[in-house]
Amino acid sequence: MTLNKFKSFLYLVLFTLVLWAATDVISLSIVVHENPIDHCALIDVQDSIVADNAPVTLKSLVRDAGVTDKAGPSPLLSAELGINISNRSPYENGWLWFPATYLSEDDHGEIYAITLPVEEIPGSGLFYLLSRFALPDSHYVYGAYNKNNDSGGKWDGVTYTAPLIHFIKKSAIEDIPESFALHAPYPNPFNPGTHINFDIAEDTKLSLNVFDLNGKKVRDIWSGHCDAGYYSKFLDMSGFASGIYIVQMMTPTYRHVHKILLVK
């Protein structure tokens, strides 16, 4: 073997060893950081919670054959539930996380819950809910919900997402607003949906619509009779192009508009 061929062979061997070592390190990193939790989910999710200044209980479930198959709470498991006024990824800022405590268990796994004081609910009365679980030195695994088939599972942002919960105080239901009002939609800008809150001071005929900048009506939120009270509607603009739209509320004695910005 010539010297040049020997050098080429040596370089190839060294390169192979380096590549093998790098691959091994990457694999080891994945193994070290793998979270052994095989299932987590939100459970008993409700579209709305009605309470009269009473604490609100929120529940989540976690299962792992190596951890939660023993009676009683898993001593190494960290469990939390979080709320956010915006529908964000759990990896983004803005979530308020509350330590959850062991509640019970069944064939599906362990159930954890938090009892949330009313004053800690976001002032809007609307919030998104997620749970998260972790074992020591592990990444978080997030539990979410699919309202389409009433099932829970790991958050993926597509099938399993953060459900929207409408928290309503009984006092708000019993009270009648002093005046008509269309509140600023939030979030704004948004994608793909935003919340429309409005107050109705007396029984009336109501038109609540969305228009494009050409004055064309593109969505009906409410059209017809409306009893006095406080209302909240979720406006889903999936399938519409990015841009500015106008939300208009009209009664025989009141008219108000807000601009909203859909950003995709």
pLDDT tens by residue, 204-243: 999 999 999 999 999 999 999 998 888 888 898 988 999 9
**Global confidence as pTM:** 0.53
pLDDT score of 218: 96
The amino acid occupying position 112 is Y
Alpha carbon distance 49, 23 (integer Å)? 51
Q: What is residue 36's predicted lDDT score, i.e. its pLDDT? A: 62
The residue whose two tokens read 């299962």 is: 63
* pLDDT value for 132: 87
Matching fold, domains 39-169 and 176-262: yes
What is the C-alpha to C-alpha distance for residues 231 and 200, in angstroms, rounded to an integer?
Answer: 8
Query: 56 - beta bridge partners?
Result: 116
CA distance 168 to 46: 12
Q: What pLDDT, on a 0 to 100 scale, did the predictor assign at position 217?
A: 96
User: Which CATH code, of 3.40.640.10, 1.10.630.10, 2.60.40.420, 2.60.40.10, is assigned to 39-169?
Assistant: 2.60.40.10
Token pair recorded at residue 174? 């019993």
- Taking the C-alpha atoms of residue 9 and residue 112, their distance in angstroms, rounded to an integer, is 60
Nearest to 190 by CA among 129, 237, 258: 237
Domains of the chain: which residue ranges? 1-33, 39-169, 176-262
Helices marked H in the chain: 3-33, 170-174
Q: Give dist(CA 108, CA 99) in Å, integer.
A: 21
DSSP β-bridge partners for residue 226: 204
Topology adopted by domain 176-262: Immunoglobulin-like (2.60.40)
Low pLDDT (below 50) residues in the chain: 1, 3, 5-33, 65
Encode pLDDT of 99-128 as tens digits: 888 878 777 778 888 776 666 665 556 788
- pLDDT at residue 61 in the model: 74
Residue from 55, 102, 94, 58 nearest 78 by CA: 102
